[in-house]
Amino acid sequence: MSLPDKAFPVSWDQFHRDARALAWRLSGTGQVWNAIVCITRGGLVPAAIICRELDIRRIDTVCIASYHDYSSQGEMQVLKDINPEILATGGVGVLVVDDLTDTGKTAAIVRAMLPKAHFATVYAKPKGRPLVDTFVTEVSQDTWIYFPWDMGLSYQEPINKESRG
């Protein structure tokens, strides 16, 4: 797979800092959450960090497949639903966590399941941003974020390759 023109590689250290920054923002809301629902797979890592930082013990997942070839979004498919006890509340006291909101399609599905939940993502793109309540960093819609769990150590081309003659 070749790198897109706008690539945003994120290291483990950077992702950890960004997820903790999200936890700080969430703690500043004054809200107390009874549970976290993380959208898998991307939401697993930030949810682990946030539940530690905010001392949330009840964690559930909703599994939605959207990126089938790691380069483009395909048809949305719910692979695992949310616990019925959490669904019954409509999301009251529930924090939904994901790594990224891109087009907002995944968030829209989960928001329909939990309309009263608070949605938080580490990163947001313009199309998905209206569907989340809290995020840390916004990137342009045409930027591809390379998360640390998808990468190994490798050379990165300079942004301005032409100036290197």
Annotated binding site for 5-phospho-alpha-D-ribose 1-diphosphate: 41-42, 98-106
To the query of whether residue 60 is one of the catalytic residues in this protein, the response is no
To the query of whether residue 99 is one of the catalytic residues in this protein, the response is yes
Binding-site residues, in ranges, read: 41-42, 98-106, 144-145
* Identified catalytic residue from 5, 55, 102, 150: 102
User: Which residues make Cβ contacts (< 8 Å) with residue 66, sequence separation at least 6?
Assistant: 73, 74, 75, 76, 77, 105, 106
Angle at which helices 12-27 and 44-54 cross, to 10° = 50
Binding-site residues for guanine, in ranges, read: 102, 145
To the query of whether residue 98 is one of the catalytic residues in this protein, the response is yes
* Identified catalytic residue from 98, 133, 142, 150: 98
Q: In what order do the strands lie in the sheet with 94-101?
A: 73-80, 59-67, 35-40, 94-101, 118-124, 134-138
Overall residue count recorded for the chain in this entry: 165
Identity at 98, one-letter amino acid code:
D
Binding-site residues for GMP, in ranges, read: 102-106, 144-145
* Identified catalytic residue from 55, 69, 81, 99: 99
Quick one: how far is CA 81 from the chain centroid? 18
Binding-site residues for xanthine, in ranges, read: 102, 145
DSSP letter at 83?
Answer: P
Residues with active-site annotation? 98-99, 102
